[in-house]
Structure 1
Amino acid sequence: MDILLIAIIAINVIVSFKGFGDQLFFRKYEFHIGSIKAGEQIRMLTSGFIHVDIAHLAFNMLTLFFFAPIILDQFNDLWFLYIYFGSLVAGSLLTYYFHKEEYSYRAVGASGAVTGIIYSAILLYPEMDLYLFFIPIGIPGYVFGIGYLLYSIYGMKTKRDNIGHTAHFGGAIGGYVITLAKEPHMFIDNTKMVVLLAIPIVILFYMHKTKKL
């Protein structure tokens, strides 16, 4: 396993466990609209290393463990960091944009960064098969990616759970944009897939602009 991946997982585990046992620490570094508006923008980064509980942490780190090697095999460590942290920040920025008037809105977790890694991997290898525990057949990566973001839009609209769908979506945008910045030839070599994976992003901002979200 790449030492960089080990380090990122280790930091998430250490910071999260600190938060599990220290409520003041948790509250100080979580994503909180009111505090960010008061000048604590660092929360947009630190919140990506704090998790609600062990299950939340384990799910994000296992997902990162399986998808990160795809990016690390294709890019160097620096570009992996660009994608990881760029997606984390993109998730926080989109969350802030959509919830900026909700002063009590809170969120934590590496989901934005992890989703950016997933979407980057799908953009690089759109035909790869993904297997979900409740579906016995492989799902093409691009189908999963598009479906996941459409589901995220549904989650953002209905607000029926405590999942940070907006951060996931922002992270995916970050992974998509940074990967294309690194590999601009994909606009020509794989135009169809670049356009297909952009469809949910266009739908999101269209719905927001027309106040349907």
Structure 2
Amino acid sequence: MDQQPPQDQDGSAAAGGPLTCYRHPDRETGIRCTRCDRPICTDCMIEASVGFHCPECVREGSGTGHHPAANRPRTLAGGSVAADPRLVTKILLGINLAVFIAVLAARRPLLEDLLLFGRAHTDDPAAGWEGVAEGQWYRLLTSMFLHQEVLHIAFNMLGLWWLGGPLEAALGRIRYLALYMLSGLAGSALTYWIAAPAQGTLGASGAVFGLLGATAVLMRRMNYDMRPVIALLVVNLVFTFTWSGIAWQAHVGGLVAGALIAIAMVHAPRERRNLVQYGACGLVLLVVVLVVVLRTAALT
């Protein structure tokens, strides 16, 4: 669940209501100026050495009315600030919902074609063996957008919306998308490695758990109260290991990958930011490929 920072002290948000930008009261935000602690939207936030500053603090700090970053604000992770900080999140939501509707319409055939499993015989004897081990590596990706039950997709999409928006605003679109996709792939790879070859798994849970791990890293980086996100993480892990029918491997794989990528995203030194960030993403992808190759060799 997305945790909002404490209510601002200048009364820009109504008591108990959503936090809004102090310069644009009609815009909700979860970002604060690290100098004056006022809430600021993506159009107002200006990258600083730690977090973001509001335009007023930038002018006061520079002693003039101009600042080179004011015209080209960057996110905390160095990404470009977008007018719609939830665009990628909305697109991911749309893809998941579209696939869910397509599966409802096509029923079992499409589900079997997209499901993640290692190696098994299908209902058609003439088809022989199928699965990731038989070269159908796309199942590692397609299963991330596949849901079978309304409750399943509802929980995952709520998690994506609550966690995704603040992360997309803090990281930028490209870095956020890389975080989401690699977390999901890491969850799929760990499931493929550990689960029984014929066990089918599906869902965006691995990617959403990656967002949860990244949220914890981001909140720690911004010096927010960690207790709410730790409590949320503990509750989700309890459900992961106590509820039947849950592929815990996808949750753990996504959580670990998301946290590691987020650490590289928000703690990379500015002078080597791209190298550290994309290098971390590349290493996670390399591990995913290595796990899949080794598991495939063991099954064939």
Q: Same fold (TM over 0.5)?
A: yes
**Any residues of structure 2 matched to 1:1-213 within 5 Å, and which?**
2-22=86-106, 23-34=108-119, 35-99=131-195, 102-126=196-220, 139-146=227-234, 148-149=236-237, 152=240, 154-155=241-242, 161-184=244-267
TM-score (norm 1): 0.73
List per-residue Cα deviations over 1:107-157 (Å, max 9, x = no partner).
010000011011101111147579xxxxxxxx52134325644664x44xx
TM-score (norm 2): 0.53
SS at 1:52's partner residue?
coil
Q: Which runs of 5+ in 2 are unaligned?
A: 1-83, 120-130, 270-300
Over the residues paired in the alignment, what is the CA RMSD in angstroms? 2.2
- Based on CA coordinates, which of the two structures has the bigger radius of gyration? 2
Q: Which runs of 5+ in 1 are unaligned?
A: 131-138, 187-213
Structure number with greater CO (CA < 8 Å, separation at least 6) is: 1
List per-residue Cα deviations over 1:53-98 (Å, max 9, x = no partner).
1221111111111111121121110010011001000100111121
Preserved contact between residue 123 and residue 142 of structure 1 (Cα < 8 Å): no
Q: Distance in 2 between matches of 1:79 and 1:16?
A: 26
Runs of 4+ in structure 1 displaced over 2 angstroms?
A: 126-130, 142-152, 183-186
List per-residue Cα deviations over 1:8-41 (Å, max 9, x = no partner).
1000000111112221111001111111111101
Aligned-pair identity in percent equals: 26
Give the number of aligned pairs.
Answer: 171
What is the letter of the counterpart of residue 49 of structure 1? Answer: F
